[in-house]
Amino acid sequence: MKKNTSYTIRRVKRLPVILIGEGLLVGAVGGLAVLLYRLALTLAGNWLNEILTFINGSPARIAGWFLVLLLMAVLVGKLVKWEPMISGSGIPQVEGEILGKLPENWKKVLPAKFLGGFLCILGGLSLGREGPSIQLGAMTGQGIARVLDRGKTEEHYLMTCGASAGLAAAFHAPLAGMMFALEEIHKGFSASILVAVMTASVTADFISSHIIGIDPVFQFQLVHELPQDHYWMILVLGVILGILGAFYNWFMLTAQKLYKKSAFLGVTGRIVIAFLAAGIMGLIMPSVLGSGNNLIVSLTAGEMTLGLILVTFVVKLAFSAVSFGSGAPGGIFFPLLILGAMIGGAFALTGVEFFGLDPIYINNFVLLAMAGYFTAIVRAPITGIILLFEMSGTVDQMLSLAIVSVTAYITATLLKSRPIYESLLDRILDGKRDENRENSPGGQKVLNEFVIMSGSALEGKKVMDVEWPGRCLLVALEREGKEMIPRGKTGLMAGDRLTVISDERDAAYVHDKLENLCYTSL
């Protein structure tokens, strides 16, 4: 059914109520899909441990395992060729889809991402479950929208709901799921989407926790809250995390670039390298395989020395670059949290050895470093703070979490390091922008909302004086909760919420232009 302009505008007026019910549906279906994925990855991790124990000390068995790794790599390569959108984390692809810059096919992405992610964890690649979980949830939302014959605007809302449900089910973190979906995926807040995303996130978390349990993902004890006279150390840690976070982004993108320069390898060849590297690491340092949750247990239990932490950090970082840069299906979210924990552990042990820090605060710095490192890399500080207190089960560190996150954020920004998912999305879009716009069938109408920020190019101007992007229509203006019909002489103020409609084919172009007008000064 073709959704014309009048139909789209009429339906949007009822969206806040409609989306609550649809968010519940997406949360239930998406949460169940991600729960199955989470259980499958747990099974893959257990099988990997049993395999490594079985082959230990036997050259014949080791050779057989490398042959199996090669076969799995070829299969994953075929999956990526069949559906290129499953490559890597999946979060940039979801962002691109919601912004109208990339097309995804839920019928292909769901099975290919599920199987590809399972094989990568079974092979031991240093990848996480969060990115695939978010993509699986978003594709569930897209599938439900298309089965119910919803328009593009509603489909994007349901994809955001699905992304929120995916993170909530993956990490038992409903608030973080909601915030990440709005802060990073949807990149905006509105009454239409807020309650729906919250509904989807809570529903998915309920389904997941009902089956798996409600224990936090990271189970370690913080004996005491960090005293305020130690807060200078938080500032120092935040600067270090900002610098290392900027380096992480550069390193991951460089690894990806080096892989692509070796064109003779092809898609499958790059993935074969990652699987063979995993086989080697399984023989010499199995602790760095997979997402690395076991490293958190060892670190917070006091089983790792400063030297071992530093070596583990370097090896895990390099192996993560080899794994992720290959284009294998899997995320960087969880591995980067593990790397952040290693930085926090090394920082705290240095403080204990040279500055008289009480060892009871080591775990505090581990937790703080995970939040700060995440913020420096992803540039989503609110999500980082909420995620870490949900995943750790403690709310005592909110002030210190905020300080380290803000410090890391500022440091990474001053170093001109772009958020990792934006950089990855740009890599995917290179050479495709014009092609996607020209080949898009158009037809459906897409509504987008933008808030005029203080100091932006639109503040203080009249509607008729603004050079609006072509192929779009300003259909509504909301000010202090009251909706207005914008006219030529209507003055624009900071805080105004603009609703703009465009054709599906032009949605990405219009979005970028209006984002510049609303959020930046000229």
pLDDT at 79 over 60: yes
The pLDDT > 70 percentage for the chain reads: 89
The partner residues of 491 in beta bridges, in order of sequence, read 462
372-398: per-residue pLDDT in tens?
A: 999 999 988 888 888 877 766 666 678
If you average pLDDT over residues 423-449, what whole number do you get? 65
- Please report how the helices 231-261 and 420-429 are oriented relative to each other, as an axis angle in degrees rounded to 10: 20
- Structure tokens given for 231: 């807060």
CATH domain 228-267+275-427 topology: Clc chloride channel (1.10.3080)
Dist CA 370 CA 333 (whole Å):
11
pLDDT at 408 over 90: yes
Q: What is the pLDDT of residue 395?
A: 63
197-217: per-residue pLDDT in tens?
A: 899 999 998 988 888 776 666
Q: Please state the pTM of the whole predicted model.
A: 0.85
pLDDT at 11 over 80: no
109-129: per-residue pLDDT in tens?
A: 999 999 999 999 999 999 988
**Model confidence band, residue 4 (pLDDT cutoffs 50, 70, 90):** low
* Helix, strand or coil, per DSSP, at residue 352: helix
Q: Between these two residues, 3 and 115, which has the higher pLDDT value?
A: 115
Q: What is the pLDDT of residue 155?
A: 86
Query: What is the overall mean pLDDT for the chain?
Result: 85
Q: What is the pLDDT of residue 7?
A: 55
Q: Across 25-34, 89-98, 176-185, 219-228, which has the greatest mean pLDDT?
A: 25-34
Q: Please, is 353 exposed, middle or buried when counting C-beta atoms within 10 Å of its C-beta (0-12, 13-18, 19+)? A: exposed
336-348: per-residue pLDDT in tens?
A: 999 999 999 999 9
Q: What is the pLDDT of residue 435?
A: 47
On the question of a common fold for 5-212 and 228-267+275-427, the answer reads: yes
232-256: per-residue pLDDT in tens?
A: 999 999 999 999 999 999 999 999 8
Q: What is the pLDDT of residue 237?
A: 95
- Structure tokens given for 313: 């950090």
If you average pLDDT over residues 397-405, what whole number do you get? 87
439-448: per-residue pLDDT in tens?
A: 444 556 777 7
pLDDT at 436 over 50: no
Q: What is the pLDDT of residue 241?
A: 96
Q: Which of 165, 157, 161, 172 is nearest to 197 (CA)?
A: 161
Domain boundaries, the chain: 5-212, 228-267+275-427, 441-519
Architecture of domain 441-519: 2-Layer Sandwich (3.30)
492-522: per-residue pLDDT in tens?
A: 888 777 778 777 777 777 777 877 787 776 5
Q: Which range, of 154-163, 297-306, 454-463, averages the lowest pLDDT?
A: 454-463
**Model confidence band, residue 28 (pLDDT cutoffs 50, 70, 90):** very high
CATH domain 5-212 topology: Clc chloride channel (1.10.3080)
If you average pLDDT over residues 310-334, what whole number do you get? 92
Q: What is the pLDDT of residue 13?
A: 60
Dist CA 387 CA 166 (whole Å):
14
Cα 165–Cα 168–Cα 169 angle in degrees, nearest 5: 85
Length of the chain in terms of residues written: 522
Q: What is the pLDDT of residue 434?
A: 45
Q: What is the pLDDT of residue 437?
A: 46
If you average pLDDT over residues 25-50, what whole number do you get? 93
**Model confidence band, residue 219 (pLDDT cutoffs 50, 70, 90):** low
Q: What is the pLDDT of residue 190?
A: 66
Q: Please, is 49 exposed, middle or buried when counting C-beta atoms within 10 Å of its C-beta (0-12, 13-18, 19+)? A: middle
